Structure 1
Amino acid sequence: VWSREEEVRHGTYRPQSSAQLKATLGKDGKISAWRTDYVQSGDAEGETSFIYAIPATSRRHFSYQSNQRDGPWRSVNSTQIGFYNESFIDELAQAAGEDPYQFRRKHLAADSRHLKVLDTVAKRAGWGTPLPEGVGRGIAIVESFGTIVAEVIEATVREDGSPQVLKAWAVVDCGTTVNPLNAEAQIAGGMVMGLSSAIGEAITIDKGAVVQSNFNDYNILKLAGAPAVIDVHFIESGAKMGGIGEPGVPPASPALANALFAATGKRIRTLPLMTQAKA
């Protein structure tokens, strides 16, 4: 049995990933073309759906062989793809001069499950209502493993530059919920895990060796830093049953980054964000 220090320094790690995204806005303010080129080890596309209705899309995956030992992480590759797509569409909404929630609506099929999930989370989170000064609200929606999850995050920035997540909402359509309490725990836990990795979890290498060793230098989200309010709601659509253990993770990091942009005007494109939102 490995000690925690042995596991942190000699285990397998979440795959590194990088992407370039480009898009064109038409005269009607809608996206007319979208292109994603991303580098990631393994098959990085299979479990994540591209949900937006855009006339021309290109998504190219370039695989690489890492010199580190990497392996599957909760939600596998959907967490990276979700961060790329849902951060970028927020940037496109800003370029179009539109509200991020309403901009997403324009690119989802009418009467679709996705639109219902998005509308429900916006309503439950009070999207568009006034917020205290220095607090921002961000939204993201990702379909992965056959389940649609939309999340809204309210966040601010502490004096030391680190983010503080205040409230979080999630609306889920996994088809049919069999065990509601367990499903709620899976989504809430996935959201907190996604926020923790986005905020401060990092493995760094020095002269070929992992620097971190335990919780004193590997920063996971503690109870005091977790959202004071976590609201999880399920839509019983009767659709084919999807997964529940992983889909809560991917929307968390882009929803947080989008909330921090709303609060500070600073766009975050690299994770973990640490103190990137510091004024």
Structure 2
Amino acid sequence: MNCTVHVLDKTVEVWTSTQDALGTVGRVAKIAGVPEENVVFHNSYCGGGFGRRVPLINSNMIDHATIIAKEFNVPIKTIFSREDDMQQDHYRPSVHNNFKAAFDSSNNVTAWQSRFTGPIQVPGASHIPYEIKNQSIRVVEGNTHVPLGPWRSVDHTQQTFFTESFFDEIAHRAGINPYQFRLNLLREHPRHRKVLEIAAQSAGYGRDIPDGHALGIAVQESFGSFVAQVAEVSLDKNRRPVVHKVTCAIDCGWVVNPDTVEAQVESGIIYGLTAALYGEITIKNGRVEQGNFPEYEMVRMSTSPTINVHVVESGEALGGLGEPATPPIAAAVTNAIY
């Protein structure tokens, strides 16, 4: 990442990529001591942001360039190497969740209890669409010295893994196929049902698959879009998961560019798979240990699954695309193993 700032007599020019142009302008104006209208912002292509290019998160890069530029009559450029970026980031919170469920004498789910640690960045991510009469969902706030920030799909990435994984557990407890169990409790949510049905049918859910393979399913609404995913998974000789295929159905309302939808969904799945299979930041003696991709493994082309994307054109309001495909994938993979 980089940021260039040139402080002139009455104006300030800024060159950087950001997820919040107005926030960047305001930050530079405050540090330089000029009105916001005197800041000329040259917005460059962002590439991937994922929360890292929000001004509050990459403030050290912007602030350093502005502070130094005030002292010199030349443009000042700050550059963050990959190591700088990875070791001086704001990280996705570590979250713990505890669940309980109750059944009546007919094996119907009658109660759902969820207790998880904060912070909450997206209210409502822990809520469920399933028709369970008694629900109690509570958060316990926690403090940490680790800088925290948004990550692709924010709270949905953890909460979807929690809720959809536990939902499979209670489906098995009830002795009902997890796909059918979801449909049974989504009668009032037709958009959830539709993406579930399309993903399951396309993936061949319930039909024969290769020996040693299993299918896992998950569904979530986030940022106005509805996504269901089916993951086909096996275990290698070392008992590590191998994801062979992911089938995804997405309802993002009106579809402007189907190719963009498919690209964003594929990207979101790969991003979520990396976190599920490999992603880990560890801290030792107050410092982040990982510095570059040799220490931070990712899903690569050689290990990427086949991804089939089905777009459901519901004609509803426009939903998001950059984030909604990330939340369901971890649960779909672990549900296949479970």
Correspondent of 2:182 among 79, 95, 104: 104
Q: How does 1:117-156 map to 2 (within 5 A)?
A: 117-156=195-234
Deviates more, 1:102-111 or 1:89-98: 102-111
1:260, distance to aligned residue in structure 2 (A): 1.6
- The separation in 1 between residues aligned to 2:140 and 2:304, in whole angstroms, is 35
1:257, distance to aligned residue in structure 2 (A): 0.5
Query: Do 2:121 and 2:154's aligned partners in 1 also have CA atoms closer than 8 Å?
Result: no
- 2:12 is matched with none
Q: How far does the alpha carbon of each residue in 1:101-143 deviate from its partner, in whole angstroms, 9 at most, with x for none?
A: 0111111115711111111111010001112222111000001
- 1:257 is matched with 334
- 1:274 is matched with none
Tell me how many residue pairs correspond in the alignment.
260
Greater than 4 Å deviation, 4+ residue runs: none
Q: Unpaired runs of 5+ in structure 2? A: 1-78
- 2:169 is matched with 91
Query: Do 1:146 and 1:241's aligned partners in 2 also have CA atoms closer than 8 Å?
Result: yes
Q: How does 1:120-199 map to 2 (within 5 A)?
A: 120-199=198-277
TM-score for both structures, normalised by structure 2:
0.74
- The separation in 2 between residues aligned to 1:49 and 1:75, in whole angstroms, is 15
Deviates more, 1:58-67 or 1:174-183: 58-67
Larger Rg: 2
1:44, distance to aligned residue in structure 2 (A): 4.3
Query: Do 1:48 and 1:144's aligned partners in 2 also have CA atoms closer than 8 Å?
Result: no
Q: Unpaired runs of 5+ in structure 1? A: 262-279
- 1:203 is matched with 281
- 2:317 is matched with 240
Secondary structure of 2:105's counterpart equals coil
- The separation in 2 between residues aligned to 1:168 and 1:240, in whole angstroms, is 26
Identity, in percent, stands at 39
Secondary structure of 2:161's counterpart equals helix
The answer to whether 1:10 aligns with 2:88 is: yes
1:154, distance to aligned residue in structure 2 (A): 0.3
Q: 1:48 to 1:237 in 2, by over 3 A?
A: farther
- The separation in 2 between residues aligned to 1:37 and 1:47, in whole angstroms, is 13
Correspondent of 1:23 among 92, 101, 105: 101
1:45, distance to aligned residue in structure 2 (A): 2.8
The one-letter amino acid paired with 1:230 is: I
1:49, distance to aligned residue in structure 2 (A): 4.9
Q: How far does the alpha carbon of each residue in 1:169-192 deviate from its partner, in whole angstroms, 9 at most, with x for none?
A: 110111111111011111111011
- 1:69 is matched with 147
- The separation in 2 between residues aligned to 1:59 and 1:147, in whole angstroms, is 22
1:30, distance to aligned residue in structure 2 (A): 2.5
The one-letter amino acid paired with 1:87 is: S
1:92, distance to aligned residue in structure 2 (A): 0.4
* RMSD across aligned positions (CA): 1.4
TM-score for both structures, normalised by structure 1:
0.89
Q: 1:153 to 1:225 in 2, by over 3 A?
A: same
Larger relative CO (CA 8 A, sep 6+): 1 or 2?
A: 1
Secondary structure of 1:188's counterpart equals helix
The answer to whether 1:59 aligns with 2:122 is: no
The one-letter amino acid paired with 2:292 is: N
- The separation in 2 between residues aligned to 1:59 and 1:42, in whole angstroms, is 13
- The separation in 2 between residues aligned to 1:191 and 1:183, in whole angstroms, is 12
Query: Do 1:41 and 1:66's aligned partners in 2 also have CA atoms closer than 8 Å?
Result: no
Deviates more, 1:61-70 or 1:122-131: 61-70
The one-letter amino acid paired with 1:116 is: K
1:48, distance to aligned residue in structure 2 (A): 6.0
The one-letter amino acid paired with 2:272 is: G
